[in-house]
Structure 1
Amino acid sequence: MDTGSDRRSSTVDPRKVATLTGWLMVITFVTSIPAYFFLYAPVRDNPDYITGAGADPTASVALGAVLELILIVANIGTAVVPYAVYRRYSEGLALGYVTARLVECTFIGIGLLSLLTFLLMRQQGTAGTDAALGEVFVAIHDRAFLIGPGIFAGVANGMILGYLMYRTGLVPRGMAMLGLIGGPLLLAAAIAIMFDVIERGSALQGIATIPEFIWELSFGIYLIVKGFKPSPILAGLEGGPDARDAGS
């Protein structure tokens, strides 16, 4: 019995943990959506910009990179901040969630680095007139996004977090079911794109993303507004319900 870790976990305030986790989850939306869909769009749609042709995408890509750096910190925070709570149900699942988020962020970093390299080569004029090189960097970013926010976000936020929340009852189980449905759908859509069964950005991919999108956003907002629901795993934590409240 690790009495040292028990003493540390007893000082956790579930309400503060829930609120911070919720805000971090919302921050992932605020940073990722503008970066991918708007700020990176000029480069993704025009790989020949690497030759120096066309509008200068420096400001757009640089701002997108800053947002994604914040995204990486927020992503990791959504798993690390509530770790002391989640581990009271299953240390393996809590650690698995942290690990899956770290892997997701690794691929986000790879995609970010590819576009920053694209930008550097345009600025220094070292790419010559070979637009194909720009297509390579854009393709790396695309595949990194597919594996990171595509596959590993589905595994982490959909399957692992959804299962944790469903089993513990820390949020309404109906809400957690969205994660258990959305995670596999997100994973299946990403794999279908890899095998060229469906197209990237197609209506099918968009439909497959909806349950996961709603789950993650509703999870973040719920934690900010209400915090964790009473649950046996909160019993004994500072500010948490006692065993009688948890069982009610």
Structure 2
Amino acid sequence: MDDDRRRSLATGVLFLLTFATSIPGALLYGPVLGDPDFVARHAGSGSVLAGALLEIALIIANLGTALVLYPVLRRTTPSLALAYVVARLMESTLIAVGILSLLTVVTLQQDGVAGAGPVAAALVALHGWTFLLGPGFVVGLGNGLILGCALYRSGLVPRGWAVLGMVAGPLVSLSGVAVLLGAYSQVSPWSALLTLPEVVWELFLGIYLTVHGFRRTAARAGHAPLRARATS
């Protein structure tokens, strides 16, 4: 197994890991997000802590995709390769802020802080904004538009699928703007419909790169300019 195949395999597995961590993590946050009286109760924090652990794994997977792909993408699109790393870093930072906000709510509950309801509500609202700006906006720019453009230009995956990423990403970001402006809620049919193409794109990357890997001709062509410069 050569270096490019190892990188494609790692990237595919990391993309699949984002699905395995983000969806269960969001579900495990149910008690703190759906119960206004969560702080006043003395049960249910275990699932929130488990959700936080899954989201920490999600951050690791997100950053991993960028770091593993960077050496490959920079051969043909160095500026887009760097932009993708920055986008993933921004997304992961927002997720981390959301994790800390909910862990603080758990601390308020466990310590039995009197009158902490309004503070807890504010922290839950903060998590909502980080989710909107991270997975609901930055993901569209990074995983969709930037990564789609980079993979289209490099030819590392079938270009038809790369076009899907270039289209799906802006749809996610536009949906995030619509939610921000109050056009509809983040949990709505419109939001789900506009997010679905991005989900399909990322799932394709996870499966394709795990099973098939980078397209061989494109990967070899990406090495050629580097060798040419080294011998000149």
Output the TM-score relative to the length of structure 1: 0.86
Letter in 1 for 2:166: L
Aligned pair count?
A: 225
Corresponding residue number in structure 2 for 1:136: 122
User: Partners of 2:16 and 2:45 in 1: how far apart?
Assistant: 27
* 2:32 matches 1:39: no
User: Partners of 1:87 and 1:168 in 2: how far apart?
Assistant: 9
Identity %: 44
Corresponding residue number in structure 2 for 1:125: 112
Consecutive unaligned residues in structure 1, runs of 5 or more: 1-11, 244-248
Q: Any idea what SS the aligned residue of 1:72 has?
A: helix
Of 151, 167, 180, which residue of structure 1 is paired with 2:153?
167
Moved more, 88-97 or 169-178: 169-178
Corresponding residue number in structure 1 for 2:135: 149
Of 15, 18, 34, which residue of structure 2 is paired with 1:28?
18
Letter in 2 for 1:63: A
Letter in 2 for 1:43: V
Tell me the CA shift for residue 236 of structure 1: 7.1
Tell me the CA shift for residue 57 of structure 1: 2.1
Once superposed, which parts of structure 1, at least 4 consecutive aligned residues long, lie more than 4 Å away?
none
User: Partners of 2:22 and 2:153 in 1: how far apart?
Assistant: 29
User: Partners of 2:220 and 2:32 in 1: how far apart?
Assistant: 47
* 2:172 matches 1:186: yes
Letter in 1 for 2:105: F
CA contact (8 A) 2:31 2:45 kept: no
Letter in 2 for 1:14: D
RMSD over equivalenced CA pairs, Å: 1.9
Tell me the CA shift for residue 91 of structure 1: 1.1
* 2:82 matches 1:92: no
Letter in 2 for 1:204: W
CA contact (8 A) 2:156 2:218 kept: no
Consecutive unaligned residues in structure 2, runs of 5 or more: none
Output the TM-score relative to the length of structure 2: 0.92
- Give the number of the structure whose residues are more often helix, by fraction: 2
Corresponding residue number in structure 2 for 1:223: 209
User: Partners of 2:121 and 2:39 in 1: how far apart?
Assistant: 9
Q: Any idea what SS the aligned residue of 1:23 has?
A: helix
